[in-house]
Chains A and B, each alone.
Chain A
């Protein structure tokens, strides 16, 4: 297991002038684009494949493999879409990169675009990220002025344009096909797959969608090689990773470590442990709220990587790690998570449209003291009715965490039902509002 002993992705985020191109270039940014252009698209794809880079948006799909789906002789313009819609609860790493090192991001976007023979890069940034938008907007203008974007980039014969596009408030637009719909000027409804984006993407053209952090790794892979990258972390879970710590942790924030850093290192050494040391850790959500919740004992000895967390029945996802101490009512926490999904469901298909709202209301009712003994069973059954029957995995993202709360904190649910209220409130809560 290769530990990370240096800053890679976050190397330059501390410099205030990193957002301007001259300072960034002095620190090596944009030199990798030149190297990439000389390597050529196919060699780049191979290099990224060899590096073992897995997508850092949530799905963990091998980036090089995704790039290899793109046509080598595009009959229509190919596109790279950058998914900067970061909206998974607990996640704030792409924002850091875009606001503080936009040139690293942009360089990564362009190298990737070249590797997949794209003629345009669409950056879809969530509407709320105004600071990131402004930073990227300025960086794009600066890069254009230097000839890194536009016609015949650095005399390579490659033409590329970059279009910065703002979202307007919809978590579902982080789903790659919903993002494409939104980019095309529609409601963010995920598309049926097949066809897949590499065959039929934006405007029906071949498209690759990648996360910001994933693409920020690319210049480093180009500079230091696939072997170096693959040597960080462990097999099939390679490279430096940004972890977002939040909730009841003493030092919340973004921390860079090798993919597969041990839980204890992340929580105690980096995060400083529990916010209130007088309390106990009660629950951990390891990968954004779409990941199943873990009990503290399940975290012991856990390496925070894709495969280890999948083996535990949860996900690394977006690496948004949220800590809850024993001041938290788990039913209330579940309700808060499900409220998010009820609000963000796009409503396109039946099981999610109704189900995501229904499961929230069951849990809210239990929390408010109106729960009945059948409710936990109904809740689980409704969740099962949602999973695997929808156009996208949003339904799974709501249902699987819901089931995990019920499974691991069943006592809390039962107590609410029995006492007709939250046992953690000072006095038993009145049923209803």
Chain B
């Protein structure tokens, strides 16, 4: 859902595209989901944890995994899909090995996030929302990551990369395979 939204820009269209899949979750993943379910007084609370487990294993919340999770949690597949599409951190398509989430909200914007995004688009040769051809990087813009004091910054995987300059982000990226 990230991407430039200008006043009279390109057509605004709805629609989550779920990349199709037939791959089942591994027995280990299913076991982790069972453990998550056991931690909560009610099963459905384990839905978000289960989706994290699925995404960790398969790289995105694939439809087949959603169906398996639906069965375990006791909800309909549509319910799971509607939850996946609500939260920005769940991917509905395969993404690059490293997802670069650049914060572009007020404080980061004030400290140069626009230029940072433009720099990354140039450097990686892709637009926001796209993935490099070698599947190494996906570039996204996101809203406030709670790091306004060290703006501009981005999140890649688990890590925050703060106080960014163009040189610093270049160095970070070159260290990622």
Contact = CB atoms under 8 A, between A and B. Distances in A.
A75 to B, nearest CB: 15
Interface stretch (B15-23, B45-53, B122-130, B167-175): B45-53
A127 B86 CA distance: 13
Main secondary structure of the interface of A (DSSP, over half): mixed
Interface string A63-102: 0000000000000010000000011111110110000000
A131 interface: yes
16 contacts: A88-B144, A91-B148, A126-B146, A128-B101, A129-B146, A168-B89, A182-B48, A185-B42, A185-B44, A185-B47, A186-B83, A247-B106, A340-B106, A343-B143, A367-B7, A368-B6
A245 interface: yes
B8 interface: yes
Contact of A92 (B40, B47, B109, B148): B148
A339 interface: yes
Contacts of B82: 187
Nearest to A364: B7
Given A89-B144, A163-B39, 16 more contacts: A87-B146, A89-B107, A95-B146, A128-B101, A131-B160, A168-B87, A169-B87, A184-B44, A186-B83, A203-B41, A340-B143, A340-B144, A343-B143, A432-B9, A433-B8, A433-B9
A118 interface: no
Contacts of B104: 336
Interface stretch (B25-33, B131-139, B149-157): B149-157
B73 interface: yes
Interface of B: 1, 5-10, 39-49, 51-52, 73, 75, 82-83, 86-90, 101, 104-107, 109-111, 142-151, 155, 158-160
B105 A167 contact: no
Interface string A220-260: 00000000000000000000000011111000111000000
A337 B48 contact: no
B149 A253 contact: yes
A254 B149 CA distance: 7
B107 A90 contact: yes
B144 A433 contact: no
Given A342-B5, A368-B6, A165 B48 contact: yes
A340 B105 contact: yes
A91 B146 contact: yes
Interface string A346-366: 100000000000001100111
B35 to A, nearest CB: 13
Contacts of B73: 185
B146 A337 contact: no
Contacts of A360: 5
A154 interface: no
Given A130-B159, A247-B106, A322-B106, A185 B48 contact: yes
A21 interface: no
A320 interface: yes
Given A89-B143, A166-B48, A320 B148 contact: yes
A370 B7 CA distance: 8
A163 B42 CA distance: 13
